[in-house]
């Protein structure tokens, strides 16, 4: 209305020169990479017409949930690609993702997550419902599996920005939302008020002009002046039409959405039969092939694309561990392990100590042991994203770094209970608990500056039970499908 008033007032003054018109964002300030840039230089009457058309179009598409949400038809279909970055590191297995529209104008997104395993029982999946009309149009219910059947809602998002080639969904808190039950840095980074929820979670998809390529990016939060945590980034190609979408969606509207984990949402997405049987499976992005023996009782390939191997054994109160991978930068490569004793803790105490589930998809709260050609370095991550600081809180014994046959390996011994939480606050802080998680990375080490230059996509996060690594059959918890084949490891 304000823009229309300005144009109308200029129209009353014939000698006023027309000014360029910038398309108005749908839902506030848009990110630069998807901001519409439209300019008009012509008669005032044409500018007025364009303003009316643009405003009416935006209202018809989605006006804060009061009308309808319409996704451009170019997004509909079946897509496939290999994620080059994720919270677990780059993938070697393909990722299939579908977008289907119902006859009622709602949408369903579906995918299966292979997580670098061919064993179906260890795969995960995601089913997402988006309402096209009603008071909650543009709202999304995200149901990742497998989950506890007692959970009614796993995550809710809402469409914040949309144009003819891109759409962005951001986090949205429903009534009764409990911050501590979700892995977002609400308190430490105030991510929810940054960009209407986009500071916590930003899911942006962009289709190219041909309609056959989709850029898929899910990003979590990021520390000030630092990059965001890349949750899943992939370049997808269209491989078919979308599967049929059910006409019945859970709940009456976005406020009453519930995940049906005892029914439809409690199992893998059906990708069997036609047309999926005729679709060739994409080849892995490139796995490392090598044979080597393990001297440890536990040996797992945590990431096939990077070639990262984690080996360890627990001896009384000590953890003897080795991590190794191909060295992409030769003897200028570093390799690192991070330990978070309270990585899964949702308590207020954990948040106050700068750790816990709030930091899950970032680095903060990790005691890090980093190995490079000149030795071993103790560090601590005090930021969600960004370089860690030097810190010797964690006692490291019998440390060694080796470069052999194009590989780098880091070996050391640490106490199960140790690190900054133990040294500074006297907490037990044992990694031998269900709350513990770990981080790993491989990157470039600058020998002149004696600093790491970052890991890029060669990093990952996992929950590891150091005393019983195969206790749980759920994806990303049990390491059973990633076990090294004794006595020889073949990647």
Helix/strand/coil (H, E, C) string of 271-329? CCCCCHHHCCCCCCCCCCCCEEECCCCEEEEEECCCCEEEEEEEECCEEEEEEEEECCC
The pLDDT assigned to 473 comes to 64
The pLDDT assigned to 163 comes to 93
Other residues' Cβ atoms within 10 Å of the Cβ of residue 258: 14
Tokens of 481: 């499908």
How many structural domains are present in the chain? 3
Query: Does 6 fall in a domain?
Result: yes
Whether omega for the bond prior to residue 275 falls within 30 degrees of 0, making it cis, is yes
Taking the C-alpha atoms of residue 347 and residue 355, their distance in angstroms, rounded to an integer, is 10
The pLDDT assigned to 454 comes to 66
Query: Does 286 fall in a domain?
Result: no
Same domain, 225 and 138: yes
Same domain, 200 and 256: yes
The pLDDT assigned to 31 comes to 38
Same domain, 31 and 84: no
Same domain, 160 and 295: no
The pLDDT assigned to 236 comes to 96
CA nearest 470: which of 480, 485, 462? Answer: 480
Same domain, 268 and 358: no
The pLDDT assigned to 8 comes to 37
Contact 109, 97 (CB under 8 A): yes
Same domain, 364 and 471: yes
The residues pairing with 155 across neighbouring beta strands, listed in sequence order, are: 142
Query: Does 208 fall in a domain?
Result: yes
Question: Residue 386 is part of a domain; what is its CATH number?
Answer: 2.60.40
The pLDDT assigned to 251 comes to 67
Ramachandran angles phi, psi of 84, nearest 5°: -90, -10
Taking the C-alpha atoms of residue 247 and residue 261, their distance in angstroms, rounded to an integer, is 18
Query: Does 188 fall in a domain?
Result: yes
Query: Does 66 fall in a domain?
Result: no
- For residue 82, the enclosing domain spans 73-278
Q: How many Å from the N-terminal Cα to the C-terminal Cα in the chain?
A: 62
Query: Does 284 fall in a domain?
Result: no
Contact 97, 236 (CB under 8 A): yes
Same domain, 272 and 298: no
The pLDDT assigned to 397 comes to 98
The pLDDT assigned to 57 comes to 42
Between the alpha carbon of residue 175 and those of residues 172, 179, 211, 215, the distances in Å are 10, 12, 37, 32
Query: Does 198 fall in a domain?
Result: yes
Same domain, 267 and 319: no
Same domain, 20 and 111: no
Query: Does 80 fall in a domain?
Result: yes
CA-based torsion, 115, 101, 80, 167: positive or negative: negative
The residues pairing with 129 across neighbouring beta strands, listed in sequence order, are: 108, 141
Q: Which long-range contacts (CB under 8 A, 24 or more apart) does 414-417 make?
A: 414/318, 414/319, 414/321, 414/339, 414/369, 415/317, 415/318, 415/319, 416/314, 416/317, 416/318, 416/319, 416/466, 417/317, 417/341
Tokens of 341: 């004793």
Taking the C-alpha atoms of residue 438 and residue 151, their distance in angstroms, rounded to an integer, is 26
Exposed / middle / buried, residue 68 (Cβ in 10 Å: 0-12, 13-18, 19+): middle
Angle at 226 between CA 194 and CA 475, to 5 degrees: 80
Same domain, 110 and 243: yes
- Tens-level pLDDT at each residue, the chain (491 residues): 444 444 334 444 343 333 322 232 333 333 333 333 333 334 444 444 443 344 334 434 444 445 789 999 999 999 999 999 998 899 888 889 999 999 889 999 999 888 777 777 778 888 999 988 888 889 888 888 877 777 777 778 999 999 999 999 999 988 788 888 888 999 888 999 887 899 999 999 999 999 999 999 999 998 887 888 899 999 999 999 988 888 777 766 656 778 888 888 888 887 654 444 434 444 344 444 444 567 899 999 999 999 999 999 999 999 999 999 999 999 999 999 999 999 888 888 988 888 988 888 899 999 999 999 999 999 999 999 988 999 999 999 999 999 999 999 999 999 999 999 999 998 988 999 888 999 999 999 887 655 556 668 899 999 889 998 987 766 667 888 888 865 444 44
Question: Residue 85 is part of a domain; what is its CATH number?
Answer: 2.40.128.20
SS (H, E, C) the chain: CHHHHHHHHHHCCCCCCCCCCCCCCCCCCCCHHHCCCCCCCCCHHHHHHHHHHHHHHHHHHCCCCCCECCCCHHHCEEEEECCCEECCCCCCCCEEEEEEECCCCCEEEEEEECCCCCCHHHCEEEEEEECCECCCCCEEEEEEECCCCCCCCCEEEEEEEECCCEEEEEECCCCCCCHHHCCCCCCCCCCCCCCCCCCCCEEEEEECCCCCEEEEEEECCCCCCCCCCEEEEEEEEEEECCCCCCCCCCCCCHHHCCCCCCCHHHCCCCCCCCCHHHCCCCCCCCCCCCEEECCCCEEEEEECCCCEEEEEEEECCEEEEEEEEECCCHHHEEEEEEEECCCCCCCHHHHHCCCCHHHCCCCCCCEEEEEECCEEEEEECCCCCCCCEECCCCCCEEEEEEEECCEEEEEEEEECECCHHHHHHCCCCECCCCCCEEEEEEEEEECCCCEECCCCCCEEEECCCCCCCCCCCCCCCCCHHHECCCCEEEC
Contact 98, 110 (CB under 8 A): yes
Same domain, 407 and 469: yes
Q: Last residue of some domain: 10, 41, 61?
A: 61
Same domain, 57 and 78: no
The pLDDT assigned to 175 comes to 78
């Amino acid at each position: 209305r304000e823009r229309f008033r300005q144009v109308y007032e200029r129209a009353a003054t014939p000698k006023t020169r027309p000014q360029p018109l910038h398309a108005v964002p749908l839902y506030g300030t848009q990110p630069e990479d998807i901001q519409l840039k439209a300019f008009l230089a012509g008669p005032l009457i044409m500018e007025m017409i364009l303003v009316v058309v643009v405003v009416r179009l935006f209202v018809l598409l989605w006006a804060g949930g009061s009308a309808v949400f319409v996704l451009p038809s170019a997004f509909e279909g079946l897509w496939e690609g290999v994620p080059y970055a994720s919270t677990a590191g780059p993938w070697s297995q393909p990722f299939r993702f579908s977008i289907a529209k119902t006859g009622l104008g709602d949408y369903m997104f579906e995918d299966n997550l292979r997580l670098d395993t061919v064993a179906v029982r260890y795969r995960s999946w995601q089913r997402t419902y988006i309402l096209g009309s009603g008071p909650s149009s543009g709202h999304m219910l995200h149901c990742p599996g497998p989950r506890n059947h007692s959970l009614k809602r796993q995550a809710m998002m809402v469409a914040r920005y949309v144009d003819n080639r891109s759409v962005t969904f951001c986090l949205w808190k429903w009534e009764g939302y409990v911050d501590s039950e979700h892995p977002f840095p609400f308190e430490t980074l105030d991510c929810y008020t940054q960009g209407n929820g986009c500071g916590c979670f930003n899911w942006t998809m962009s289709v190219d002009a041909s309609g056959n390529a989709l850029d898929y990016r899910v990003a979590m939060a990021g520390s000030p002046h630092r990059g965001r945590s890349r949750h899943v980034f992939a370049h997808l190609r269209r491989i078919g039409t979308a599967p049929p979408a059910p006409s019945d969606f859970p709940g009456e509207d976005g406020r009453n959405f519930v995940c049906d984990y005892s029914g439809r949402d409690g199992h893998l997405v059906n990708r069997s039969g036609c047309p999926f049987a005729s679709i060739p499976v994409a080849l892995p992005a490139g796995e490392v092939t090598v044979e080597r023996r393990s001297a440890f009782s536990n040996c797992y390939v945590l990431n096939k694309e990077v070639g990262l191997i984690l080996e360890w054994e627990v001896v009384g109160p000590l953890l003897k561990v080795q991590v190794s991978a191909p060295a992409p930068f030769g003897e200028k490569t570093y390799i690192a392990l991070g330990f978070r004793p309270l990585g899964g803790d949702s308590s207020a105490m954990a948040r106050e100590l700068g750790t816990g589930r709030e930091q899950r998809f970032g680095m903060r709260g990790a005691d890090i042991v980093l190995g490079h050609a000149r030795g071993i370095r103790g560090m601590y991550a005090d930021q969600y994203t960004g370089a860690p600081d030097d810190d010797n809180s964690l006692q490291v014994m019998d440390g060694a770094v080796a470069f052999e046959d194009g590989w780098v390996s880091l070996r050391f011994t640490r106490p199960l209970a140790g690190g900054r939480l133990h040294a500074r606050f006297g907490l037990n802080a044992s990694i031998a608990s269900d709350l513990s998680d770990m981080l790993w990375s491989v990157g470039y080490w600058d020998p002149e500056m004696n600093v790491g230059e970052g890991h890029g996509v060669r990093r990952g996060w996992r929950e590891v039970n150091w005393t019983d690594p195969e206790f749980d059959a759920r994806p990303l918890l049990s390491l059973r499908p990633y076990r090294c084949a004794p006595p020889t490891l073949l990647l």
